[in-house]
Amino acid sequence: MNDAVKMNVAAEQLRAVIDTAVDGVILFDAAGTTLMFNAACVRLFGYTAKELAGRAIKTLVPNMLTGHLDRKTYPTRGHRKDGSTFPVELSLGQASRPGESVFVSVIRDISERQELEAAFLDAIGREQRRLGSDLHDSLGQDLTGLSLLLSALARSARDGERLGVSDLEQAEEVVRRALQSCRNIAHGLSSVTESQGGLISGLRDLVARLRTASGPSLDFEAIETAPLSLSPAACDHLFRIAQEALANALRHAHANSIAVKLDVEPGSVRLKIRDDGDGLPSTELSASGLGLRTMRYRASLLGAKFQITGLDHAGTCIVCECPQAA
C-alpha cells in the first residue's frame, strides 16, 4: 500500500470517527467559509448537507471569536435555519492546509444541560423556602414558646414563688417538640445520612410514607450480599431517583402495585422500581419529561447505567445500576 492510499484510508477513518461525534465539528477558512462539517451539524442547525457546504460560519454562530484561539471553550449561541437560537459551548483551534490557514470548531449544544441546571437551582430555591418556613413555623414557634415559658418561670422564682411540677413538665414538653422539629427538618434535608439509617432505611421510610389505604400497594425489598460503600452524595442521588420514579408512578401510572428493590452487591448497587400500571408511550420512554431527564442526569453523575423500559403486559420498570466505587 503506497503512501497516497494510506493517507486516503486514514482520512476516511478520521471522517468516520468525526461523523459519529455527538458534537458538531466544522472546518472553515480565514474568510469564514465552511469547508467541511460532520453529520451532527446537520442535526444541530437544521440545514441540509448541501445547504451547509460553503455557508458562512457567521450565519451559524454569529459571535464566533476567531481572534481568541487561546480560550479553550466559551459559551455563545447557535442559529438554526428556522431562525431559532440555542445555547452552545464552543471550542476553536487553528490548523493548516496546503497554502492556507483554516480553523476547526467543535460546537456542543448545551440546551439540556442549562435546563437541568435551572431545574436544580429551582429545586434548591424551593428547598430553601421550605426550610425557612419549617424553621419559622415549627422550630421557631417552639423555641419562642419555650423562651416565654422560661421567662415566666424565672420571674416566678425571682418573686419567691414556688415552681410547680406542671410548669416544669410543660417546659419539658416544649423542649421535646422542639427536638422533634429538629429531627423532622434534618430528615427533610437528607433522608439517607448515616444518622438517619442510611440509604436502605431512607428508602424503606420513603415507601412507608407514600403508602396509603386508597393507593396502590407499595413494597420495598433490600438484598445485601455485600456492604454498602457508596458515598453520601451517591446515596442521596439514588434516593432522589427512587423518589422521582415513585412520584411519577403514583401520579401517572394508575398502578395496582409498585415494587422497589435494592440489590447491594460487591461491585454495584442496583435500584429497581417496577409498577403494573398503564406504562409509558415509546415516545416518552426515549425523551421527554424533565423528571426522566433529571433521573438520567443524576445517574450520569454517578457513572451509573440507567434504563427505563415498558413491560409487555403493562407497566414500567426503571433500573439504575451504580458502581460501588462511585
Does the pTM exceed 0.95? no
pLDDT level of residue 171 (50, 70, 90 thresholds)? confident
Is the pLDDT confidence value at 122 over 70? yes
Determine the pLDDT at residue 87: 92
Dihedral pair phi/psi, residue 248, rounded to 5°: -65, -45
Is the pLDDT confidence value at 12 over 80? no
- Return the CATH number of 3-109, one of 3.30.1490.120, 3.40.50.10380, 3.30.450.20, 3.40.50.1220: 3.30.450.20
| 145: helix, strand or coil | helix
Amino acid identity at 42: V
How many helices (H) and strands (E) in the chain? 11, 10
* C-alpha to C-alpha distance for 25 and 7, rounded to whole angstroms: 21
Under CATH, domain 194-323 is a member of which superfamily?
Histidine kinase-like ATPase, C-terminal domain (3.30.565.10)
Lowest mean pLDDT among 33-37, 61-65, 102-106: 61-65
pLDDT level of residue 289 (50, 70, 90 thresholds)? low
Is the pLDDT confidence value at 319 over 90? yes
Is the pLDDT confidence value at 283 over 50? no
Give the number of other CB atoms < 10 A from CB of residue 196.
16
Q: Which tens digit of pLDDT belongs to each residue from 226-274?
A: 999 898 888 988 998 998 899 888 888 788 999 999 999 999 999 999 9
Dihedral pair phi/psi, residue 174, rounded to 5°: -65, -40
Question: Which is higher by pLDDT, 274 or 138?
Answer: 274
Q: Which three cell numbers stand for residue 202?
A: 431512607
